[in-house]
Structure 1
């Protein structure tokens, strides 16, 4: 995918060759991520008859939910009887001690501590930071274009990963991408290692053998914790020296405040220690930038594939932003067309294709008795493409279906739009991610027209998150000046 400067250019079409699966030829977005073709086929087979099914992954039973009423029960009314899957004993430590792994009182305390960082008033203050980071990226694009030939090509996904990393570092931790770059790079290496580990069976005790691979895993994990701890301890020292904390109310500041549990009148066992802050910092570094970068990239791809929607969203951005170059904090709610395009993009290409939970006791889901230890599989992408709830055009790009809001977009009374989950444990960063996406996309559209590279081939793959397989080797191409 790519972007084109507006000045002196004719509105572009979507240019693609006829080999492979270019986006321009898509009448439908029948996503087939490489998660498990068997699972998706089984879902389609059994959901039509209303049946439920179970399959085995090794010695572990996995119960596939095909009814949205069951999903609502699992995520809402029975959330206290359901837990997240814990990582394999031999898996690298990606997000331990963070919201994505904690349960019970520990999870509730961390959530309560972090909630103030995502309140609307707080988020509005982040808009100028998000816009400033975006403008820095766009200025680099313009500088690169001026120094190159007329044909200009940008690897959007790579650029957006840097941008969203910069934004999460600035807004959540008072840092910058340059300072946090090493942490992000090491976490990318951890994801690669996690994929490699996950492709092999878990052999008890093998992880303790100091092989070259295991030593590398330990080294990466130790370095991440060292860098994160240094960032946290530097902020703590600033406070102890009574230095002015310019970022005292960001997420890191809130967590440091929570270290003193007596100030909050809470039980000591619920206070945050350094290990907890490190865990949450790693969690937000991990989950707070790449998922958003992927979502923005998918949205730009769809806008490039449907130039009529791109023109409408750009016209709206021009009206809302008036003479300003970027959206203002109080104007984001007026970007209605961009909102529904974002929702449709998240429906067609949700960052998380599957969600898994585990029954921590014998429970009944609907009319089915689910034994303790059974893994419950919630096929987000299957529900998002199910014609029973979205109509015969479920696989088509139709943003207008969200014109009355996400709650009225489907034909189901139970949740089937599950990008940010549902129930008490819905994604805490939902509003943050949507606001960031609006700022970035609107800022880009005000300066560029976008189209798809002729070399891009549409092949979604579930590489921890749902992303185009070709993003890692395909760049975008511009048109003549």
Structure 2
């Protein structure tokens, strides 16, 4: 390879970078982005190539995606997720993707609009009822909402009786980040609090998955059709496996991944959207005006309203710019490559960080400011396609992005139309970069119904 070597932080900065890898991963990525658009960070034997330009992201994630497999962080998640759609590679990943993708086609997602709207109304009523007794954690409630939608639309299975799923996934993510920081040097059986919590959560998740599979299998026709939900298609694929035990283990991995990815990212997006609107009441008023005009006479949204709620959609898009649910995309180079003018050796860790890409000052005017008008169609023409990648990009673009956007837009419109959601005095929420960009400490808010 004839490519150049990216810039590197000075040696005196390395101890600080190691500390930030453990306690401030967003700070580490911001520091790297401030140094240059291509940075090489050496952490002992590990070489991290951090690329922060749209064309570099396009090359790694799309143009030469076949040369890269999942990397740091996601690799550690296999302890819980196994070889599900989020972590699998090669032919296995392609089979898994082709199995579930029909359930997420736009026409299929449109048929879920009524279920999403019904769950949104339930969420509004629950917030109004519980909010009458004082502040409540809105993030916890929207997480329950996203699980409810996932169950009704993708799994045809009720998840309301499995409220512990979200807490179990918190432990899974904590373990994955711990393994990443310690580079897998601490065995899972070690008697540490993180490991004990992880082992307990893994048992709970597996028990939940077994119950869900047994229930859904009992109601499943022998021959799936194109109209079946993703869960039915996954079970049918497992039944066709030549090894029944291996087929079931694969089904378990796929379902655990679907449960995590199907609710975590949307819940995160909703939390940040509601927080940002509470911090910008004049923009919240614009959402309310649009919701009252489109969703007239107090009705719930339907499929035809999604494309009419244009400003609300821009608000959600801008929230995902500032706080992308997929905040980092780690890869490992299989063969030597050149990303722009830079040489990347085989085995190198490559990081594409939507969080810093979405705040690049050369791409976004006043990048730290919450400004939904950035996503007015008239302002999109000159923006590079890969400047904005909240759902990832390339072959591994999030299969559930359409359903997630419908949920986020419907909830934002209906809650803003009917409720005032406000943060508590002195409240200062901060992001927690795990597998998604969570909100640290939940989202305590007051709720006031509007007439």
- How high is the TM-score relative to the length of structure 1? 0.80
In the alignment, which residue of structure 1 is the partner of 2:209? Answer: 228
CA contact (8 A) 1:258 1:272 kept: no
Structure 1 segment 3-402 matched on structure 2, within 5 A: 34-47=24-37, 52-85=38-71, 93-145=79-131, 148=133, 152-203=134-185, 206-207=187-188, 214=195, 217-239=198-220, 249-261=228-240, 273-391=247-365, 393-402=366-375
Partner of residue 401 from structure 2, selected from 413, 425, 430: 430
In 2 relative to 1, CA 166–246 (structure 1 residues): closer, same or farther, beyond 3 Å?
farther
* Corresponding residue for residue 418 of structure 2: 447
Pairwise CA distance, 1:229: 2.0
CA distance in structure 1 between the aligned counterparts of 2:224 and 2:279, rounded to whole angstroms: 46
**How far does residue 227 in structure 1 lie from its aligned partner after superposition?**
2.1
Distance 2:367 2:265 in 1: 23
1:227-285, Cα deviation, whole Å (9 max, x unpaired): 20221122223337x8x9999721101212323549xxxxx69x992222211211121
Structure 2: gaps (5+ residues): 1-22
Q: 1:111 & 1:246 partners in 2: Cα distance?
A: 17
Q: Larger radius of gyration, structure 1 or 2?
A: 1
CA distance in 2, matches of 1:451, 1:410: 35
CA contact (8 A) 1:313 1:338 kept: yes
Contact 1:169 1:180 in 2 (8 A): no
| Partners of 1:272 and 1:122 in 2: CA distance | 30
Shift, 1:214, TM fit = 4.8
Which deviations, in whole Å up to 9, do the C-alpha atoms of 1:410-455 show, x marking residues without a partner? 7543511011111121111111110011111112122112333214
Residue 364 of structure 1: how far off its partner (Å): 2.0
- Any unmatched runs of 5+ in structure 1? 1-32, 263-267
Separation in 2 of the partners of 1:88 and 1:69? 23
Match of 1:178, SS state, is coil
For residue 101 of structure 1, report the CA deviation from its aligned partner: 0.8
Give the whole-Å Cα distance in 1 for the aligned partners of 2:196 and 2:279. Answer: 45
C-alpha change, 1:86 and 1:274, in structure 2 (3 Å) is farther
Is the 2:74–2:87 Cα contact (8 Å) retained in structure 1? no
The alpha-carbon distance between structure 1 residues 272 and 73, as it changes in their structure 2 partners (threshold 3 A), is farther
Tell me the C-alpha RMSD between the 2 structures.
3.1
How far apart in 2 are the matches of 1:430 and 1:91? 21
Per-residue displacement from partner, 1:112-139 (whole Å, max 9, x unpaired)?
Answer: 1111111122112212212222222222
* Conservation of the 8 A alpha-carbon contact between 2:431 and 2:439: yes
Compute the TM-score of the two structures, normalised by the length of structure 2.
Answer: 0.85
Structure 2 distance, partners of 1:322, 1:91, is: 45
SS at match of 2:288: helix
Query: How many equivalent residue pairs?
Result: 428
